A and B are shown apart, each in its own frame.
Chain A
């Protein structure tokens, strides 16, 4: 049966590199998740055996009892209808889906950590196995008890122990824990990263806990014990956009600066998970942990519990792979032992030491080893792409990027491919020549740059020169990079003042946001501002000092716009701050009685553009209604689509394409003159974001959407978004090119930019939130174990007017082993790739096709793994590569995401697509796979070591009528209030005893009580992590908002989608059918 993927043992070695030490740790990278079906076997005998053999795969059980194949057969559990998967009767009521799977647990084991499949058993154990063993037991034992609660599977739910479910108690004991374990509440915490003794724990006995790390699940049972997410929590690195927790509105958030690392304490010193582990979990199985963790360094995140699991009939929902949160901070050296180290999960907190490769925040590859040939890549089914986020926020404890000034000669470059000097260029012949690591050309070393080589073959000065020892450096741009003086920092604000904008308070909100944000603009004489308002005409304001009052100049011709003045429309901030503030104050009054309903958005942008054409800069547009007149006007085609159903359905995706080329053409012109457009949409209705978003996405900006705009709750977000927009690290008039070693070539770039030539992309502006995805294809082969380098060079102007080149290098080992590809796959990056691919497909194909595409990508990858790397295991098991074990879950989440779900507004989908196009790895995952935490018990939780409580799994079992939950995806925060919540709690959090009158869009105030403070603290921490001021919405059971909330619980079965268990079964079945 499950044959665990064997041999990983070998792998261990690899891990070795990790400093972290514990050899054992192994990169948990690969554990397979197998989902086997029939648990029964398991139950009893299974376990043990399982262990033995394939540690990992385990599922000892053999075939599903039911005999049925994996999922199919399984009858639905009584209570739960999980249809597809239906688990065997056995399956308990509750644990719906997988109930059965307990068996699964075992699977985890297989992780390959180390090596591919070979000797899995060993490996695993090693890592976990051994130690865990010891420890584990406890877990289990414990678990069982716990389990009992989860009746998940065991048909006999009741049966405390798994026995029921699994059949064999032993197992159950052991394994069950994994999944089974989740006791109700606790269960949820399943993953506490650190704590998790998870698997280890559980399985140990039986199988060895695959990875220490992954234990995710196991932990649960201890339920309480494990400190859930703890560590991970806030990736400090990101600047807390909104630091101040200020409660509500704006003012609140104090310190802007991203610089401020200050993220609130959180991570206490302990960075290394390992460390904490011990401490934490009392209960947990230390051992398990121990082992697991150790590895952490390398693979800190190993979020996944890799597990296998499942039997159709009985899949224990508690044991299927779910993300674990890391609670601790790790230190990550980008290269160790002359090789690229595998970066920690993007979502974990880590501190990077640049030892030759760039920080993974700046650039991250979908796989940490590069396939030697294109065929190998194709076989794997995985994408090869880089996510480049050149201004990604560093962790506060990281060293800043060093600035290198080569003076007039400019940075040393390869004379053939123009690559910049980097640590991987090899100096030879006493340093007289250097060989380009990208094109292989041998260059003469410039005389000024000569230096002798040391005995190790490196230049003697290599360690003193950042460009020779750091993966990321900045060069001062010499004259040859300047076509003109570096541009000043120009900010031009455009505000919609049409009737609806004024009535809904959007205009006032925009004015107040701008006014407050002025102080966040870069200081200095090179900061220029301008402002215009528009309805069916465009109103410019000349703020020239000599005039006491600003002069309002209206451009009425919105088919052919122009600027009313040549100068004086844009002035240094220092010269016009006061008059600008006054003006902003009076604009809402001035247009109070405006009865012009039309809005000339396109024309206004064009006019704003003309005003700043000579310099370039940022055009910040506040738009509130569908642009109905002037150049680039749009129509309410959504409604037209609805009224014309027949074509509407067939061509539904057309609504997601820009209506015509007008705005695109305009955007290209903007980009040419270095004007970046950000659009803040504060609307109550359809505005055709599909068309509008073309402009920001071509000019390096983005769309912000506030729908439906509420004058009560949205101004705070608007202000914070604006403030972050202008204060985050950013650069102007940028050009970026990615070079890679011979053997690969750049296939395409995707993101928010303008591309005029195939090799470069133009970014009128680039900021810390923007990520550019670069895909590659092979045009040649690599030698095994050679290195493939990537270099991203970004020429830009700082907000203070210096021209610089940021050069980001990464060099990865090449491999011809497919198993290595899987083992070194980067789940989050790959998933981000998937999300972006899906988003780019939305406007051009019907949704169902996009979803199928997404699913089949997932299936192909898993099938490749199954076929080439785990072929020995029984076909009855779903075996997942450890590194990608969450792929099915994320894929499911993607299918159910706003962008891909069938219902929902066209604008919401367009907005989703527009966000995704530039989203970072860090935010892409939560966008589709949100985080849910409970708020009502914040003050009573016992995992106080982290600010943010452990996330709950996204299924409705976790939602109780007496609870209050927050679900956030980095954009929105949905606060779900059950209908039996204690009024006292309501009073504490919302300041009301009944929610009847509270608006859906809420502004959460901070009241003088502990719970309220906590809630606000948590919220602010989340905001900081996400660099986004969440848009809060209140969801109540029984009404639409509640239904919407439930639709975000991706593990649930939804009208249009499978539950997680069902999906796993589906995936498994697909793979099986392909295999045969």
Chain B
């Protein structure tokens, strides 16, 4: 297992199959697709950053890499993908075995190139705040203080824009010092880029060009007209603060039986168009702070009447959410526009109600935006997450912009698509497979926003067919994958990161062990989870449980060790042993069991799943549980109700939530205040340990998870119980040692395994 982690540390890639099934049929029988989860900007300590442009193969445009064969004498390199021979250019003339450029060092499978000065100066990042004002005063107060804190952290050179919305959308002209000034757009009406140009006086004093694209300083707009709305943070501190200070509840009257009129869609459309006008093609984020459902204009998700409730999963299934499809279509348009412009949509949804994350998901995901879902703007999940975006610490997000990712693959392997926050550029090439999943039909993707954590799941297609020559033909049993990411680094420069990896083809279709050895069950779980949630969203009548069960059974049938029809004989290699457990938990997870969640929550969970790396995805699927007690040090324990004990503290990390659970005895002691008494330092220590651990988790994670501290039998304990394997349920015969039972009819893991074994051996 650790070797996979090592590989990940080196290149940011994990693959379920590290030995690749040799033919299409083999791959299909492996159930889990050949795929890779790649974190393009993973923070890798020793990645060299070289100040020049990469060399590319003149045939396939792949980048020179350590796997290229070099003829030092002829100054020629052989492209490992297409086998094209390329001459080194003049400035590589001094190349020799002892004098290698960094990109050829074997350990430099990942390398970064910094753009040369000619490619343009560093461009400042742009942040447009889009702020909901239809909230109770208290929430507005929270939001104000959060924004005010943020204002201090904004990079000085970044350009700031500010938009508020409620019934109407107000675009604040921060560059106008004399008065608070804003443009007000009607909430019911979408605003196009052309209208923005026209209506916000971008042509003041100038003739509007008759034709051609008009946008940005390069294409016809004066920088003064742009700087009215996008002002360097260093220059607009005062205005920005006073605008925040004066934020007020939307003044339009709301009848008692109605929801506030909130035109989130229009606001986003205005923001998108404004960016499109001002800074097309340069990194910019729309940061939307939304405190409730959109009820006005395009993209609204529910009518104003309170008698109508916000759509639930059930409504969606039954097709009784009349606004849903329209809204999704609207946000899809916004997504297209933003992708075209290279801009990102971030969403901070803080409301007890749903706000329409499900509808907006498409725009967030396609642009690579960040999403944070919390109950209130006063909640630490929101506040801390927001700060994290701008705080520069080791764990900062390293927000980057405008990424374009291209891939190269060896022959016989093609790309079906990516499941993750990006958009297909529809650049069809021989590398694109016929079957498409996620963002496919291309070999290049746009990632308007990406950060150090953003992880994409590439799903490959093995195109080699079974045939007489199939095995013999391959001279080399190595295959290569290359990922090239061109992006605007958060310091403004353009960079290019190239990662090239090599994997082995399975030598024959019979050699199951070879495949098992290369099986990364965590990566596989992450991939399956992405697949299943993707299918749930896109395929009508998809039955995820059945699909998962069948897949697991097939996998176990193929790779398990058993005698036919003898369930008791069933065993799995350690490489596969935890996989059924992952699947068991996945079946019970929020990704599959949506009915306990709102569509917004589900959308949120899925978005996080689809942008996180393998480790975090696994935490989402199967939370980790650590037990603290006097008897032993912190130790991982089974995610089972039996882990609960009166004298233990449990720490559950389910990614979104971190739960510290005190056994009843511990809780009583704590309530009695022993930890503060002399002689009970150990107890104090014990109490503190899980908090420290939780702190560590929280610090590294974005969005900041919700921390729940609870006691056994307390109401908050449900956060833990929901995740535990119900090995002891209310209808069980034998009581749990910890005294807790789970009120559920769900099957427990044991029952699940029984069935699995039975079915696998058939």
Residue positions of A touching B, CB distance < 8 A: 499, 535-537, 539-541, 547, 549-558, 560, 562, 564-568, 586, 589-590, 594-597
Contact = CB atoms under 8 A, between A and B. Distances in A.
Interface in B192-208: 195, 199-201, 204-206
Contacts of A564: 168, 170, 184
B184 A555 contact: yes
A595 B246 contact: no
A567 B183 CA distance: 17
A529 to B, nearest CB: 18
Interface string B281-314: 0000000000000000000000000000000000
B186 A552 contact: no
A560 B246 CA distance: 28
Contacts of B204: 536, 594-596
B227 to A, nearest CB: 14
Contact of A552 (B168, B180, B185): B180
Contacts of A547: 180, 246
Contacts of A595: 204-206
A590 B252 contact: no
B351 to A, nearest CB: 23
Contact of B186 (A535, A553, A557, A596): A557
B199 A557 contact: yes
A551 B168 CA distance: 15
Given A549-B180, A567-B251, A586-B178, A562 B201 contact: no
A571 to B, nearest CB: 13
Contacts of A549: 179-180
Contacts of B68: none
Nearest to B167: A566
Contacts of B629: none
A568 B182 contact: no
Contacts of B253: 566
Contact of B182 (A536, A553, A567, A590): A553
A595 B228 CA distance: 14
B: contact size bracket: 20 to 34
Contacts of A558: 199
Nearest to A556: B199
Interface in B205-221: 205-206
Nearest to A566: B252
Given A552-B180, A566-B251, A590-B178, A560 B186 contact: yes
A565 B246 CA distance: 15
Contact of B251 (A536, A539, A565, A586): A565
A560 B205 contact: no
A550 B195 CA distance: 27
Contacts of B251: 565-568
A537 B183 contact: yes
B582 to A, nearest CB: 54
Contacts of A556: 183-185, 195, 199-200
Given A564-B168, A566-B251, A566-B252, A553 B205 contact: no
A343 to B, nearest CB: 55
5 contacts: A499-B205, A537-B200, A554-B182, A556-B183, A596-B204
B475 to A, nearest CB: 66
A821 to B, nearest CB: 61
Contact of A554 (B178, B183, B206): B183
B269 to A, nearest CB: 13
A566 B201 CA distance: 25
B170 to A, nearest CB: 7
A596 B181 contact: no
B85 interface: no
Given A537-B199, A553-B170, A596-B205, 19 more contacts: A535-B201, A536-B199, A536-B201, A537-B201, A550-B179, A553-B182, A553-B184, A554-B184, A555-B184, A556-B200, A557-B191, A558-B199, A560-B186, A564-B184, A566-B253, A567-B251, A586-B178, A596-B201, A597-B205
A560 to B, nearest CB: 7
Contacts of A536: 199, 201, 204
Interface in B627-647: none
Nearest to B199: A556
A558 B189 CA distance: 13
Interface string B156-195: 0000000000001010010010111111111001010001
A32 B604 CA distance: 98
B195 A557 contact: yes
B719 to A, nearest CB: 43
Closest 3 CB pairs of A and B: A595-B205, A556-B199, A564-B184
B182 A552 contact: yes
A554 B186 contact: no
A503 to B, nearest CB: 12
A567 B180 CA distance: 17
A595 B168 CA distance: 27
A975 B508 CA distance: 112
A359 to B, nearest CB: 48
A1049 B127 CA distance: 70
Contacts of A554: 173, 181-184
B183 to A, nearest CB: 4
B189 A557 contact: yes
Nearest to B253: A566
A968 to B, nearest CB: 41
A535 B252 CA distance: 26
A595 B225 CA distance: 11
B179 A552 contact: yes
Contacts of B178: 586, 589-590
Given A499-B205, A568-B251, A557 B185 contact: yes
A562 B178 CA distance: 24
A590 B205 CA distance: 16
Contacts of B200: 537, 556
A777 to B, nearest CB: 50
**Quick one: which of B184, B185, B191, B195 has the most chain A CB within 10 A?**
B184
Contacts of A550: 179
Contacts of B170: 553, 564
A551 to B, nearest CB: 5
Nearest to A498: B204
Contacts of A594: 204
Nearest to B205: A595
A540 B182 CA distance: 10
B200 to A, nearest CB: 6
Contacts of A590: 178-179
B627 to A, nearest CB: 56
**Quick one: which of A551, A556, A565, A594 has the most chain B CB within 10 A?**
A556
A545 to B, nearest CB: 13
Contacts of A535: 201
**Quick one: which of B178, B191, B204, B205 has the most chain A CB within 10 A?**
B204
Contacts of A566: 251-253
B189 A560 contact: yes
B186 A562 contact: yes
B103 to A, nearest CB: 52
B161 to A, nearest CB: 15
Contacts of A553: 170, 181-184
Contacts of B183: 537, 553-556
Contacts of A551: 179-182, 246
B125 to A, nearest CB: 27
A589 B176 CA distance: 12
A557 B206 CA distance: 20
A750 B179 CA distance: 46
A474 to B, nearest CB: 38
Nearest to A555: B184
Interface string B112-135: 000000000000000000000000
A560 B195 CA distance: 12
Contacts of A541: 179
A567 B248 CA distance: 13
Contacts of B173: 554
Contacts of B189: 557, 560
Contacts of A557: 185-186, 189, 191, 195, 199
